[in-house]
Amino acid sequence: MNDTIILLDEMGNEKEFQVLATFGLNEMDYAVLLPLDDINELTYILRIEYDDQGQPILVGIDDDEELEYVVEVYEEIRKEKLQ
């Protein structure tokens, strides 16, 4: 997957991200994003929600248990793809 998207940070500055993966888990969808402007920055995993028109909206994961579980699942997906 070589898709890139542009998101706004807290200051309204544009940041470009590569979409490394998208996957579904427990009836929710998630996106894994890598910032393109700083290769040393962390990878982000965001929940994909949908507005009234069905357009995707990326939302941070506030629940620590959900985030931990999603990270574990993504790491398993990565391992499977490397084999």
**pLDDT tens string 26-65:** 999 999 999 998 777 789 999 999 999 999 999 999 999 9
Map tokens 């910032």 to a residue: 35
Residue 5 has pLDDT above 90, yes or no: yes
Domain encompassing residue 36: 4-82
Helix (H) or strand (E) holding 78: helix 64-82
pTM of the model: 0.84
Sheet holding 14-25, edge to edge: 4-8, 14-25, 28-35, 44-50, 56-59
Query: In total, how many domains does the chain have?
Result: 1
Indicate left, alpha or beta for 27 from its phi (over 0: left) and psi (-120 to 50: alpha): left
What is the spatial distance between Cα 22 and Cα 16, in angstroms, rounded to a whole number?
17
- The pLDDT value recorded for residue 38 is 77
Q: How confident is the model at residue 7 (pLDDT cuts 50, 70, 90)?
A: very high
